[in-house]
């Protein structure tokens, strides 16, 4: 038996189970490369080119498949987070407990580092803070805060990078916050709007490119809970 002759037992294994050979990308590249070498550099092997292109497309499909699965898991995890936060938020039997839960268990469940409830008042006084959770602000403050003073529509959900400003709502935590979510609250007829603002030390926690479906759902539930307390 010469050095280049395949051993009978190896040959029989390949014939018995050729799929193993076909599924090994490195081995298939080696075989195609050996075939190209035998054919010489002046001959174009269209089959080898087609195989390379198919292999590249297959790799891209695998990457897409993994990304789709990862996105589905992330979406499911996010849904579960919001559901747990809502259930915890609805456990409170007093408003003080509601605020405590909001800044504690609810914030931890949503994985945010700061949270503040903002309510507009009709008095023209400057911004006031009532406890660590609630800020009473003049009418029109929320729209200016969300739009940064620009003449543009106010969206219900705004996700963005955070830049500390004199009118920051995060107090001593403002120096650490890198991104924020502003949730506009409809508190019912004849009431000024409110806002729930959430801040994160992660600059990628809230970005304009993210979907807002889950936060929109959370905002709708939060509005209804707040209307109950205000009533």
Say whether 37 sits in a helix, a strand or coil: helix
Task: Give me the residue label for tokens 């709708």.
Answer: 220
Rounded to an integer, what distance in angstroms lies between the CA atom of residue 93 and that of residue 228?
A: 11
CA-CA-CA-CA torsion sign (80, 84, 85, 90): positive
Query: Domain extents for the chain?
Result: 91-230
pLDDT at 163: 78
Task: Give the angle subtended at the CA of 177 by the CAs of 173 and 182, to the nearest 5°.
Answer: 105
Rounded to an integer, what distance in angstroms lies between the CA atom of residue 137 and that of residue 128?
A: 6
* Beta carbons within 10 angstroms of residue 133's beta carbon: 17
pLDDT at 81: 85
Strands (E) located in the chain: 114-121, 128-130, 134-138, 157-161, 179-185, 194-200
- Would the pTM count as exceeding 0.75? no
pLDDT at 73: 58
For residue 209, count CB atoms less than 10 angstroms from its CB and return exposed for 0-12, middle for 13-18, buried for 19 or more.
exposed
Q: What is the CATH number of domain 91-230?
A: 3.30.450.40
DSSP 106: I
Q: Render each residue's pLDDT in the chain as its tens digit; 231 residues.
A: 444 566 777 778 777 877 776 777 777 777 766 666 665 555 555 666 666 777 777 777 777 767 667 666 566 677 888 888 999 988 888 888 898 898 899 998 989 999 999 998 875 554 554 556 888 888 889 999 999 888 888 899 999 998 776 557 888 788 889 999 999 999 988 888 899 999 999 999 999 988 888 899 999 999 999 998 887
Q: Is residue 173 within 8 Å of 114, Cβ to Cβ? A: yes
Residues forming a β-bridge with 197:
116, 182
Rounded to an integer, what distance in angstroms lies between the CA atom of residue 123 and that of residue 137?
A: 9
Task: Kindly give, in sequence order, each residue whose CB lies less than 8 Å from that of residue 227, ignoring residues fewer than 6 positions away.
Answer: 187, 188
């Amino acid at each position: 038996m010469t050095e280049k002759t395949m051993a009978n037992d190896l040959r029989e294994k390949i014939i018995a189970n050729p799929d193993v050979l076909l599924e090994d990308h490195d081995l298939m590249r080696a075989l195609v490369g050996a075939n190209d070498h035998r054919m010489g550099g002046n001959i174009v092997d269209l089959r080898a080119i087609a195989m390379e292109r198919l292999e590249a497309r297959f790799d891209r499909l695998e990457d897409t498949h993994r990304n789709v699965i990862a996105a589905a898991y992330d979406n499911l995890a996010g849904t579960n987070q919001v559901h747990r936060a809502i259930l915890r938020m609805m456990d409170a039997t007093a408003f003080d407990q509601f605020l405590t839960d909001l800044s504690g268990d609810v914030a931890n469940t949503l994985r945010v580092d700061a949270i503040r409830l903002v309510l507009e008042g009709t008095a023209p006084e400057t911004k006031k803070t009532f406890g660590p959770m609630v800020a009473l602000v003049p009418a029109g403050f929320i729209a200016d805060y969300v739009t940064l003073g620009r003449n543009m529509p106010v969206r219900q959900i705004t996700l963005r990078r955070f830049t500390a400003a004199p009118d920051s709502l995060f107090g001593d935590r403002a120096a650490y916050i890198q991104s924020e979510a502003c949730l506009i609250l409809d508190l019912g007829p004849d009431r000024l709007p409110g806002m729930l603002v959430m801040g994160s030390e992660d600059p990628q926690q809230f970005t304009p490119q993210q979907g807002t479906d889950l936060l929109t759902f959370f905002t709708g539930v939060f509005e209804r809970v707040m209307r109950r307390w205000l009533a």
